[in-house]
Structure 1
Amino acid sequence: MSGIDDRKPWRQEKIYEFCGYTLKISMFKNSFLGVSAYVWEPGIELCQHFQNMEMNFVGKKILELGSGTGIVGILAVLLGGDVTLTDRPDVLKQIKHNVSANVPSHSRHRANIGTLVWGSDHDNYPSDFDIILGSDIVYSPTQFPNLIKTLQHFCNENTIIYLSSNLKLRVGAVHFHEDILPKKFNSEIICSNNGNCIYKVTKKLPIDAN
């Protein structure tokens, strides 16, 4: 018999330091979460970008897609943002654990957690977000149409989207960022490190399409 009780999540905890905060991130490794139970390099790169740019999210309404462990959204909360962290229903327990472990009780009202399946569930959320975050969410070509649909729904003319992707290791990532995304959005690389690229994305207005 295995020494691990398969009925309970096996938590692997790692420590990260960003923007003066110590983040203790637990990964529920045997909860059948798949890729959602890991902290991936694009997430680390986006957190590092927040630090390098000394970003301040006070007063900003932020939506994070595919939060996974929640590391990026949690840091955005600590930097002052009102953040809605979203993922599939089975991932929410992991996110809630990490929010409770890292966000002080007096700031926890600024961390909202909920289910958001791309291409649906849109009406369960407001559409006035200032910032949309996504780290390592471009990896499944079958989901690209739903991801685009979700970005279009939540992105208004003032919204800034930050997408951090691994172009070397994720199937279809280059095609998504170079061919699919630019048809609907303005997109530029603002940071690149060892195949991990951070894109700043905005809604393409009618004047941009001409």
Structure 2
Amino acid sequence: MMHQEEEECVERGLSEVLPLDLFSLFSDIYTEESRYEFCGRELRITQHYGANLGVAAPVWDAALDLCGYFEEQKLNFSGKKVIELGAGTGVVGILVSLLGGQVTLTDLPHALPQIKKNVSANVPSHHVPQVCALSWGLDQEQFPQDYDFVLGADIVYLKETYPLLIQTLQHLCGPHTTIFLSSKMRQEHGTVAFFRDVLPCYFISELVWRNEAEDINIYKVTQQQI
């Protein structure tokens, strides 16, 4: 079951982050399928709009930019152990799985059915990634600490969750882990401050790509050396 305090936090943040016209979209229940192509793979992603899923429903631009960055950099995920936080539709983790990664997709419990449906529609049965619930700051110790990559796309938008995200990253990130965080840089919600002031206190963070038009940054993050 979803932790009540985290569910309430997400609900509060939904109306704060989304423009009013987009927020009203979540009051209607409907399904939309989108197709994307990255790294020579076609992805068919279903988005279940409605109040239940909220911000987990759509494919956000930061997720598509992260997929595009992987394509541009020709990153090798073959045989690598990968976990995605706040997977939403699962588009990023699904691409990485198709590129050979051993992927675990995580989000709050209410988002898991959508992720599982998209996994089934895109990933061959012999290479299906795990789909698991993970509430930051609470459940991370149920997961190992030896991931090669930790991924997150547009998961930095609620100030209340930032300490919980840091705790989770600290647990999941070992000395050889690379974290990629792609984010819309929302000044008013503390996103800029998170990457400028908070994250560097715990990790080495490098801006590796920027979409100037959409104000989206991708950061490569690694553990600080003691």
Compute the TM-score of the two structures, normalised by the length of structure 2.
0.84
- Once the two structures are TM-superposed, the CA of residue 169 in structure 1 deviates from its matched residue by 6.5
Aligned twin of 1:167: 185
Distance in structure 2 (CA, Å) of the matches to 1:31 and 1:76: 28
Distance in structure 2 (CA, Å) of the matches to 1:172 and 1:202: 21
Distance in structure 1 (CA, Å) of the matches to 2:71 and 2:172: 26
Distance in structure 2 (CA, Å) of the matches to 1:68 and 1:149: 20
Distance in structure 2 (CA, Å) of the matches to 1:34 and 1:170: 20
Matched-pair contact (CA < 8 Å) for 2:157–2:186: no
- Once the two structures are TM-superposed, the CA of residue 31 in structure 1 deviates from its matched residue by 5.6
Aligned twin of 2:218: 198
Amino acid aligned to 2:172? F
Alignment of 1:5-84 (within 5 A): 10-30=30-50, 32-84=52-104
1:176 to 194, 202, 224: 194
Distance in structure 2 (CA, Å) of the matches to 1:189 and 1:68: 23
- Once the two structures are TM-superposed, the CA of residue 120 in structure 1 deviates from its matched residue by 1.0
Cα distance per residue 1:6-33 (max 9 Å; x no partner): xxx6321111111101111001112611
Aligned twin of 2:154: 136
- Once the two structures are TM-superposed, the CA of residue 125 in structure 1 deviates from its matched residue by 1.4
Distance in structure 2 (CA, Å) of the matches to 1:96 and 1:198: 26
Aligned twin of 1:115: 133
Structure 1: where are the runs of 5+ without partners? Answer: 1-8
- Once the two structures are TM-superposed, the CA of residue 170 in structure 1 deviates from its matched residue by 6.5
- What is the RMSD of the two structures over their aligned residues, measured on CA atoms? 1.2
Compute the TM-score of the two structures, normalised by the length of structure 1.
0.90
The total of aligned residue pairs comes to: 196
Distance in structure 2 (CA, Å) of the matches to 1:91 and 1:175: 27
Structure 2: where are the runs of 5+ without partners? Answer: 1-28
Matched-pair contact (CA < 8 Å) for 1:138–1:170: no
Matched-pair contact (CA < 8 Å) for 1:139–1:170: no
Distance in structure 1 (CA, Å) of the matches to 2:44 and 2:79: 25
CA 1:10–1:203: 2 relative to 1, 3 Å: same
Amino acid aligned to 1:135? A
Matched-pair contact (CA < 8 Å) for 1:139–1:172: yes
Percent identity over the alignment is 49
Distance in structure 2 (CA, Å) of the matches to 1:186 and 1:80: 27
